[in-house]
């Protein structure tokens, strides 16, 4: 006879990662779109990095022109569906919505955007006429949001576009980074497929372009090259014991979870180190997946965290415990992690420092380091004449996305150091126009 | 203490809220239920010549999330047998002797009219309403609005009725006419005791743009209907006021048309109505709205110190004048309360594109609060009406020291513009941008 106690219910992933912004139904979309005031010079639109004409698409939804609404969105933002789901709308469009000034709930812009674009994707609508091949071709490195956006823009002008992607799927961090309760893998992939079918760019997977010869090869073959390579692995925190088993980087941890949404059985007590959005995501996701205790430890005070307030709120709701003004000094354990040794910190007269003698230990069996991603500097140095700033970000002319090597353009996390999907989309599009500006003059 | 009771042309009711003749008054069951919930009276669904109805019957105008701001029907008068209606009428009166039960009637010949009047009197009706208003279906057969549009016919039929009527007679008017006071005067001449207005407005409520047929669709075809609901209230108010002000009408008025809440009711009363009839709002929300209607009316009367409906009936009438009697020197200017403004800039674009270019945006794009250019502001109200924030734009009076002067007075003083290019024309001081300036927006949008 089976022991009922041993029967662990299979975690229901759909429930654990229930979408924060589920697809609206027709009535929701109708009533919500009815509320929009159709502001002039709309502040929501001005707050959108891709400048989507929000009042227009909302009015189109309200008046029953769903495909027109989707066209409005896609004309400004090629990843309109993904952005509708993953954008931190609270600090972008919705944060600027005039309703917030009256303490009335902002228009649900993200979900309306998702509603309209979802309809277009499911119906395989085509909004753009792709001209004949114009005789020139461009290589795009990285099929993340920046690369995809740049590719779409270039296809609109008739360039052949070949995307080289190191992984075996597109969408970059929008697929393997963004929290699973914001967007499902299927949704992220569906939009890229929708775009590929419409714009006809080529994607070559499992093609990491990294060494000098590979770049040379591309330079010979293509008229211009766009770098949408994003960032690299999680950085080190440079404390003793961080090489131990079960002490891993947050982006790697999240990528694993997104491929296979289970915690390793030993991960019962988890410590997440960091105070940014990635730390919040890693902590929230761990807690939702059933870790018994998740402690988020940050060196400074709560108000100094870089994470958006609503992301920390979400982590707290998921059961994460915040611990502030504590700096890790050692990861403890033999081969495997057994705990973290911290020291308390304080800021006195503007000076931040450790409090001597305040060390203490927190037991845990998994440490997640979320103290930032590295830049892809080792790869970038292989491109001659391409300059980076002191923190490893590729330097570009912001009006055109052109780097200091005239054949190369860049955008997204690799340029801005790590922002949002929507910024990557905006920068990819600008670079697409920049490349066209250059190549159309060179004819 | 507030007393809502009325005596309308001899018909007594515990309050002025009556159900208008229509689907809510189809049966004794519905009317009993309504009285039980607090309605003061009911005008029975029009009794008369036998008819057959079609389906569908209704269409509606929805507006940005609001359902049925306008309502349209192609229904005819009652399709139930007269004997059933009369039996139920008797029963309702037995249970609710103090409530007003009014029989709405529509037949053709003199004989029919006089017979049916006696039938409803025998059933215990407190009053009679003559349906001269229905603008669809019945008018083609020479009834309804076909009567209401011909004052002479209306007068004749009303006389037939008055010959046999022992209870008060109300003539219900159609708005499908240029001058509503003409049929109203005819009713008066014929000896009617009161008028009721408005009936529905002839309309096509919309077109099915895929099937190429207007609403409501009956199989593949449609026909014009009668329009009512909140959207028609302004039309009804104007007609009520016209009748109330007319020296040759002078009859009690039962106000109808878009009444949905107590404010609407107060407005009708202030323009001279002393009983109120409601149809669409009940079809939308049920009889329960009566609680809001009576409690709202009571609090309004209390706060204004009115103890009866009569005390404020028609109180706004003396202030509704002809245009030429208005003070031309009265001057107001828009004023934005910057602490309330949410920066939607709707006022800006409304005035810029739809009015008088009297609102400017700040040169600093980060400051979203617009500024009124008082020189150009003509005090039209548009921005204040459009502003989504309560009391954010107010119209402030600026003509403190000026004597009032009307068009009539200025005409008498020979001080009005008379030629096309007259210096005296009102808009002269107003600065209007040159046409070419419009094109500077081309690149910014
Ligand atoms: C944990 C986490 C959560 C996030 N959550 C959100 C969120 O909720 N909302 C939001 O808007 N943003 C979020 N972001 C940020 C967002 O995902 C990124 O800003 C965005 O994906 C950047 O797009 P990108 O195209 O510049 O880079 P990436 O998305 O990183 O894409 C780069 C692509 O290039 C490929 N690549 C890299 N190097 C090479 C090479 N040498 N050769 C070939 N291919 C290469 C990579 O495999 C990848 O597919 C999150 C980020 C992280 C890490
Ligand atoms: C402020 C205002 C002024 C108008 N002036 C005129 C006019 O000068 N000449 C005219 O034919 N109609 C005039 N109209 C009527 C409109 O042309 C139109 O017939 C009416 O407003 C109905 O259309 P709508 O519902 O789109 O407003 C005016 C309407 C408004 C609101
Ligand atoms: S700010 Fe809000 S109300 Fe105004 S247009 Fe944007 S979404 Fe609509
Ligand atoms: S009142 Fe009329 S003219 Fe004056 S600012 Fe407002 S919209 Fe413009
Ligand atoms: S309409 Fe009202 S809230 Fe909007 S900008 Fe004008 S004054 Fe401000």
Residues A374-430: pLDDT tens digits?
A: 999 999 999 999 999 999 999 999 999 999 999 999 999 999 999 999 999 999 999
Closest CA to A14 of A188, A184, A265, A267: A184
User: Per-residue pLDDT tens for B328-359?
Assistant: 999 999 999 999 999 999 999 999 999 999 99
| Chain mean pLDDT for chain B | 95
pLDDT band, residue B375 (cuts 50/70/90): very high
> Tokens 């057959």 identify what position?
B52
Q: What are residue A409's phi and psi, to 5 degrees?
A: -125, 160
Contact in structure between B103 and B118 (CB atoms under 8 Å): no
User: Per-residue pLDDT tens for A51-67?
Assistant: 999 999 999 999 999 99
B392 is catalytic: no
Q: Is the pLDDT of residue A7 over 70?
A: no
Taking the CA of residue A272 and the nearest CA in chain B, the distance in Å comes to: 39
- Using an 8 Å CB-CB cutoff, list chain B residues near A102: 342, 389
Q: Is the pLDDT of residue A12 over 90?
A: no
The residues, ordered by sequence, that sit 6+ positions from A123 with a Cβ below 8 Å of its Cβ are: A67
Closest CA to A81 of A149, A158, A129: A149
User: Per-residue pLDDT tens for B154-193?
Assistant: 999 999 999 999 999 999 999 999 999 999 999 999 999 9
User: Per-residue pLDDT tens for B250-285?
Assistant: 999 999 999 999 999 999 999 999 999 999 999 999
Distance CA A267, CA A294 (A): 10
- Using an 8 Å CB-CB cutoff, list chain B residues near A34: 64-66
Distance CA B160, CA A109 (A): 65
Would the CB of B197 count as within 6 Å of ligand 4? no
pLDDT band, residue B426 (cuts 50/70/90): confident
Q: Is the pLDDT of residue A1 over 90?
A: no
Distance CA B406, CA B312 (A): 28
- Which residue owns the Cα nearest ligand 3 atom 1? A97
Contact in structure between A363 and A338 (CB atoms under 8 Å): yes
Q: Is the pLDDT of residue A5 over 80?
A: no
Distance CA A90, CA A97 (A): 9
Nearest atom in ligand 4 to B356's CA: 3
Closest CA to A175 of A85, A112, A302: A85
Q: Would you state the structure tokens that stand for residue A242, as one six-digit string?
A: 């961080």
- B201 alpha carbon – ligand 1 mean position (Å): 61
Q: How far is CA B64 from CA A30, A32, A102, A116, A117, in A?
A: 8, 10, 20, 18, 21
- Using an 8 Å CB-CB cutoff, list chain A residues near B346: 37-40
> Tokens 């039996």 identify what position?
B87
Distance CA A20, CA B251 (A): 63
- B341 alpha carbon – ligand 5 mean position (Å): 5
Spacing of C-alpha B432 from chain mean position:
38
- B347 alpha carbon – ligand 2 mean position (Å): 20
The rounded radius of gyration (Å) of the Cα atoms in chain A is 23
3-class SS letters over A251-265: HHHHHHHHHCCCCCC
Q: Would you state the structure tokens that stand for residue A392, as one six-digit string?
A: 């490893």
| Chain mean pLDDT for chain A | 95
Taking the CA of residue B164 and the nearest CA in chain A, the distance in Å comes to: 55
**Beta-carbon separation of A34 and B361 below 8 A:** no
User: Per-residue pLDDT tens for B189-214?
Assistant: 999 999 999 999 999 999 999 999 99
Nearest atom in ligand 3 to A55's CA: 5
CB atoms within 10 A of CB B363: 6
- Which residue owns the Cα nearest ligand 4 atom 3? B377
Which residue does chain B place closest to A28, by CA atoms?
B65
Contact in structure between A39 and A130 (CB atoms under 8 Å): no
Nearest atom in ligand 4 to B347's CA: 7
pLDDT band, residue A13 (cuts 50/70/90): confident
Spacing of C-alpha A287 from chain mean position:
20
Position A10 scores a pLDDT of 58
**Beta-carbon separation of A98 and B342 below 8 A:** yes
Position B444 scores a pLDDT of 53
Distance CA A254, CA A185 (A): 13
Q: What are residue A269's phi and psi, to 5 degrees?
A: -115, 125
**Beta-carbon separation of B65 and A31 below 8 A:** yes
How would you classify the pairing of strands B6-8 and B11-13? antiparallel
Distance CA B344, CA A163 (A): 42
Burial classification of residue A171, based on how many CB atoms lie within 10 Å of its CB (0-12 exposed, 13-18 middle, 19 or more buried): buried
Position B428 scores a pLDDT of 78
pLDDT band, residue B431 (cuts 50/70/90): confident
Q: Would you state the structure tokens that stand for residue A15, as one six-digit string?
A: 């429930």
3-class SS letters over chain B: CCCCCEEECCEEECCCEEECCCHHHCCHHHHHHHHHHCCCEEEEEEEECCCCCCCCCEEEEEECCEEEEEEEECCCCCCCCHHHHHHHHHHHHHHCCCCEEEEEEECCCHHHHHHHHHHHHHHCCCEEEEECCCCCCCHHHCCCHHHHCCHHHHHHHHHHHHHHCCCCEEEECCCCCCCCHHHHHHHHHCCCCEEEECCCEEECCCEECCCCEECCCECCECCCEEEECHHHHHHHHHHHHHHHHCCCCCCCEEEECCCCCHHHHHHHHHCCEEEEEECHHHHHHCHHHHHHHHHHHHHHHHHHCCCCHHHHCCCCHHHCCCHHHCECCCCEEEEECCCCCCCCCHHHHHHHHHCCCCEECCCCCCCCCCEECCCCCCCCCHHHHHCCCCCCEEEEECCCCCCCCEHHHHHHCCCCCCCCCCCCCCCCCCCCCCHHHHHHHCCCC
User: Per-residue pLDDT tens for B43-82?
Assistant: 999 999 989 999 999 999 999 999 999 999 999 999 999 9
CA atoms within 13 A on the CB side of A135: 4
Contact in structure between B323 and B407 (CB atoms under 8 Å): yes
First-to-last CA distance in chain B?
A: 60
Segment A314-329 mean pLDDT = 96
Q: Would you state the structure tokens that stand for residue B393, as one six-digit string?
A: 């734009």
Catalytic residue among B83, B134, B243, B344: B134
User: Per-residue pLDDT tens for B283-331?
Assistant: 999 999 999 999 999 999 999 999 999 999 999 999 999 999 999 999 9
The answer to whether residue B388 neighbours chain A at the CB level (below 8 Å) is yes
Dihedral of CA atoms B375, B379, B382, B383 in degrees, nearest 10, equals 50
Q: Is the pLDDT of residue A2 over 80?
A: no
Percent of chain A with pLDDT over 70: 97
Whether the ω angle into residue A209 lies within 30 degrees of 0, i.e. cis, is: no
> What is the total residue count of chain B?
445
Nearest atom in ligand 5 to B368's CA: 5
Instruction: Write out the E strands in A325-428.
Output: 326-332, 339-348, 351-354, 360-363, 366-369, 396-397, 402-403, 408-410
Burial classification of residue A48, based on how many CB atoms lie within 10 Å of its CB (0-12 exposed, 13-18 middle, 19 or more buried): buried
Q: Is the pLDDT of residue A9 over 80?
A: no
**Beta-carbon separation of B65 and A102 below 8 A:** no
> Tokens 């309809």 identify what position?
A119
Instruction: Select from A31, A35, A39 the Cβ nearest to the Cβ of B344.
Output: A39
Distance CA A317, CA A202 (A): 42
Q: What are residue B103's phi and psi, to 5 degrees?
A: -95, 120
CA atoms within 13 A on the CB side of A353: 7
Please name every residue paired with B33 in a beta bridge, in sequence order, or none if there are none. Answer: none
Spacing of C-alpha A368 from chain mean position:
19
The answer to whether residue B69 neighbours chain A at the CB level (below 8 Å) is no
Q: Would you state the structure tokens that stand for residue A267, as one six-digit string?
A: 């991960």
What is the model's pTM?
A: 0.92
Q: Would you state the structure tokens that stand for residue A279, as one six-digit string?
A: 């730390």
Position A266 scores a pLDDT of 80
User: Per-residue pLDDT tens for A147-178?
Assistant: 999 999 999 999 999 999 999 999 999 999 99
Closest CA to A250 of A294, A206, A293: A294
CA atoms within 13 A on the CB side of A398: 2
Would the CB of B393 count as within 6 Å of ligand 4? no
Q: Is the ipTM of this complex over 0.90?
A: no
Q: Would you state the structure tokens that stand for residue A164, as one six-digit string?
A: 């080289």
Whether the ω angle into residue B56 lies within 30 degrees of 0, i.e. cis, is: yes
- Which residue owns the Cα nearest ligand 1 atom 51? A177
Q: What are residue A140's phi and psi, to 5 degrees?
A: -115, 125
**Beta-carbon separation of A40 and B348 below 8 A:** yes
**Beta-carbon separation of A34 and B64 below 8 A:** yes
């Amino acid at each position: 006879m089976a022991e009922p106690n041993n029967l662990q219910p299979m975690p229901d992933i759909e429930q654990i990662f229930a979408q924060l912004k589920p697809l609206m139904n027709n009535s929701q979309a109708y009533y919500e779109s009815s509320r929009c005031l159709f502001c002039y010079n709309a502040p929501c639109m001005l707050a959108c990095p891709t400048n989507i004409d929000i009042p227009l698409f909302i009015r189109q939804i309200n008046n029953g022109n769903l495909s027109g609404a989707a066209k409005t969105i896609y004309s400004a933002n090629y990843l309109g569906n993904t952005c509708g789901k993953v954008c931190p709308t609270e600090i972008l469009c919705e944060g600027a919505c005039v309703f917030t000034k009256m303490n009335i709930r902002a228009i649900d812009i993200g979900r309306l955007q998702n509603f309209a674009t979802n309809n277009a994707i499911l119906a395989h609508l085509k909004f753009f006429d792709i001209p004949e091949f114009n005789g020139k071709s461009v290589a795009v490195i990285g099929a993340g949001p920046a690369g995809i956006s740049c590719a779409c823009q270039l296809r609109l002008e008739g360039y052949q576009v070949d995307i080289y992607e190191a992984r075996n799927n597109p969408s970059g961090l929008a697929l393997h980074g963004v929290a699973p309760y914001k967007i499902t893998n299927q949704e992220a992939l569906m939009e890229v497929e929708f775009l590929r079918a419409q714009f006809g760019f080529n994607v070559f997977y499992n093609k990491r372009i990294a060494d000098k010869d590979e770049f040379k090869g591309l330079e010979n073959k293509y008229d211009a090259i766009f770098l949408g390579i994003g960032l690299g692995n999680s950085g080190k925190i440079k404390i003793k014991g961080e090489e131990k088993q079960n002490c891993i980087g947050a982006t790697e941890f999240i990528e694993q979870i997104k491929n296979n949404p289970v915690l390793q059985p030993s991960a019962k007590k988890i410590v997440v180190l960091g105070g940014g959005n990635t730390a919040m995501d890693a902590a929230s996701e761990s807690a939702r997946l059933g870790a018994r205790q998740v402690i988020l430890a940050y060196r400074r005070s709560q108000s100094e965290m870089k994470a958006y307030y609503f992301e920390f709120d979400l982590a707290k709701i998921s059961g994460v415990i915040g611990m502030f003004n504590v700096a890790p000094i050692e990861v403890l354990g033999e081969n495997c992690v057994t705990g973290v040794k911290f020291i308390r910190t304080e800021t006195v007269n503007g000076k931040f420092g450790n409090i001597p003698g305040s060390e203490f230990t927190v037991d845990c069996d998994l440490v997640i380091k979320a103290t930032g991603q590295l830049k892809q500097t080792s790869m970038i140095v292989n491109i001659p004449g391409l300059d980076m700033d002191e923190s490893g970000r590729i330097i570009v002319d912001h009006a055109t996305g052109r780097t200091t090597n005239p054949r190369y353009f860049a955008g997204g996390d690799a340029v801005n150091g790590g922002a949002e999907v929507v910024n990557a989309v905006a920068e990819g599009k600008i670079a697409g126009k920049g490349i066209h500006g250059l190549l159309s003059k060179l004819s | 203490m507030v007393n809502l009771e009325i005596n309308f042309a001899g018909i007594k009711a515990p309050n002025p809220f009556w159900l208008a003749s229509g689907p809510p008054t189809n049966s004794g069951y519905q009317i009993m239920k309504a009285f039980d919930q607090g309605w003061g009276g009911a005008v029975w669904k029009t009794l008369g010549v036998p008819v057959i109805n079609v389906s569908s019957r209704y269409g509606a105008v929805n507006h940005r999330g609001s359902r049925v701001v306008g309502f349209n029907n192609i229904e005819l008068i009652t399709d139930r047998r007269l004997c059933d209606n009369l039996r139920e009428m008797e029963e309702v009166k037995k249970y609710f002797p103090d409530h007003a039960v009014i029989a709405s009637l529509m037949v053709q010949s003199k004989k029919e009219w006089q017979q049916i009047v006696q039938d409803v009197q025998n059933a215990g009706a407190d009053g009679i309403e003559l349906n001269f208003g229905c603008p669809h279906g019945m008018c083609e057969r020479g009834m309804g609005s076909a009567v209401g549009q011909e004052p002479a016919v209306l007068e004749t039929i009303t006389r037939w009725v008055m010959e046999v009527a022992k209870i008060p007679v109300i003539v219900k008017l159609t708005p499908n006419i240029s001058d509503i006071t003409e049929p109203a005067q005819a009713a008066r001449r014929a000896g009617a005791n009161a008028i009721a207005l408005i009936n529905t407005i002839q309309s096509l409520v919309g077109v099915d743009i895929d099937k190429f047929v207007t609403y409501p669709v009956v199989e593949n075809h449609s026909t014009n209907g009668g329009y009512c609901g909140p959207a028609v209230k302004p039309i009804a108010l104007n007609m009520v006021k016209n009748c109330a002000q007319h020296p040759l009408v002078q009859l009690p008025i039962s106000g109808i048309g878009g009444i949905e809440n107590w404010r609407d009711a107060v407005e009708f009363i202030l323009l001279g109505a002393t009983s109120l009839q409601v149809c669409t709002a009940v079809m939308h929300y049920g009889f329960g709205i009566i609680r809001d209607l009576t409690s709202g009316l009571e609090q309004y009367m209390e706060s204004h110190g009115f103890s009866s409906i009569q005390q404020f009936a028609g109180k706004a009438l003396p202030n509704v004048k002809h245009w030429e009697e208005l003070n031309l020197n009265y001057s107001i200017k828009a004023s934005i309360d910057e602490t309330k403004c949410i920066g939607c800039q709707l006022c800006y674009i409304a005035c810029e594109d739809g009015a008088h270019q009297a609102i400017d945006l700040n040169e600093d794009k980060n400051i979203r609060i617009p500024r009124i250019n008082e020189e150009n502001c003509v005090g039209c109200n548009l921005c204040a009406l459009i502003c989504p924030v309560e009391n954010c734009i107010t119209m402030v009076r600026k003509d403190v020291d000026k004597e009032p002067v009307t068009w009539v007075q200025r005409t008498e003083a020979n001080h009005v513009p008379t030629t096309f290019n007259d210096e005296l024309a009102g808009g002269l001081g107003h600065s209007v941008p040159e046409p070419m300036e419009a094109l500077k927006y081309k690149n910014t949008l």
